[in-house]
């Protein structure tokens, strides 16, 4: 036996629980589209109306809250989102720097929002409740193939009362003229 040889031969270690990446992509952090002047003008008019009503009832703190919420809404519709890195692995789903294990997730579905394909993954915990992943250039079929062994797919998820209310309000009282989405 060669004295310089190691006592135990070095073999590549096989890990039974090796984490494999099935799909990885970069896409904006949320659906986004530019808003026109009409959107901002209508939003400000609604804010002024709410502020007048709150002033008449001496609700000064609520006036500050309404103004703050409008400011946040304007910031979100003005500033485009950062691109996030999404990853689907054998252990779970990774969004940028946060990892969700398969045990924490419930099911998934697809929707199109503002002309962007979006993957919704519902969680078992109340918070966050739902993960929103924009697909970018990744197809539905690629994502579906990666997720189906771990999560059930829902073709249709019944909208909640809040979703129905928001849809009704945006349809009957639009803040801007309907836009044409390029498909």
Give pLDDT tens digits for 75-118: 999 999 999 999 999 999 999 889 999 999 999 999 998 889 99
In what order do the strands lie in the sheet containing 21-28?
21-28, 83-89, 92-95, 98-101
Is 167 domain-assigned?
no
Closest CA to 92 of 140, 138, 135, 133: 133
- Is 50 exceeded by the pLDDT of residue 30? yes
40: in domain: yes
Decide if 139 is inside a domain: yes
Residue 109 lies in a domain: yes
Check residue 5 and give its pLDDT.
45
Confirm whether 11 is domain-assigned. no
Average pLDDT, integer, range 5-20 = 58
**What are 7's two structure tokens?**
């006592």
Q: What is the pLDDT of residues 120-161, one digit of tens each?
A: 999 999 999 999 999 999 999 999 999 999 999 999 989 999
- Spatial separation of the C-alpha atoms in residues 101 and 118, rounded to whole Å: 20
Matching residue, tokens 């836009």: 179
Decide if pLDDT at 166 tops 50: yes
Q: Which domain holds residue 112?
A: 21-156
Asked, for residue 51, whether it belongs to a domain, the answer is: yes
d(C-alpha 56, C-alpha 50), whole Å: 10
Q: Going by C-beta distance under 8 Å and a sequence separation of 6 or more, which residues neighbour residue 182?
A: 115
Task: State the CATH number of the domain containing residue 59.
Answer: 2.30.29
**Which of the four pLDDT bands, split at 50, 70 and 90, describes residue 179?**
low
Residue 173 falls inside a structural domain: no
How many structural domains are present in the chain? 1
Q: Is residue 14 part of a domain?
A: no
């Amino acid at each position: 036996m060669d004295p310089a040889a190691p006592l135990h031969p070095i073999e590549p270690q096989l890990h039974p629980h090796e984490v494999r990446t099935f799909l990885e992509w970069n896409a904006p952090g949320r659906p986004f589209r530019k808003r026109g002047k009409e959107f901002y003008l209508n939003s400000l008019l609604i804010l002024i109306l709410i502020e007048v009503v709150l002033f008449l009832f001496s609700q000064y703190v609520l006036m500050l809250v309404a103004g703050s919420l409008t400011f946040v809404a304007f910031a979100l519709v003005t500033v485009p989102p950062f691109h996030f890195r999404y990853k689907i692995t054998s252990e779970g789903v990774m969004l940028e720097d946060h990892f969700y294990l398969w045990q924490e997730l419930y099911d998934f579905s697809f929707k199109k929002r503002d002309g962007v394909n979006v993957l919704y993954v519902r969680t078992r915990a109340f918070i966050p409740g739902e993960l929103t992943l924009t697909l970018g250039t990744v197809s539905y079929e690629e994502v579906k193939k990666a997720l189906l062994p771990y999560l059930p797919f829902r073709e249709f998820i019944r909208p909640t009362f809040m979703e129905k209310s928001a849809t009704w309000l945006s349809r009957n009282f639009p803040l801007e003229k309907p836009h044409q989405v390029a498909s």
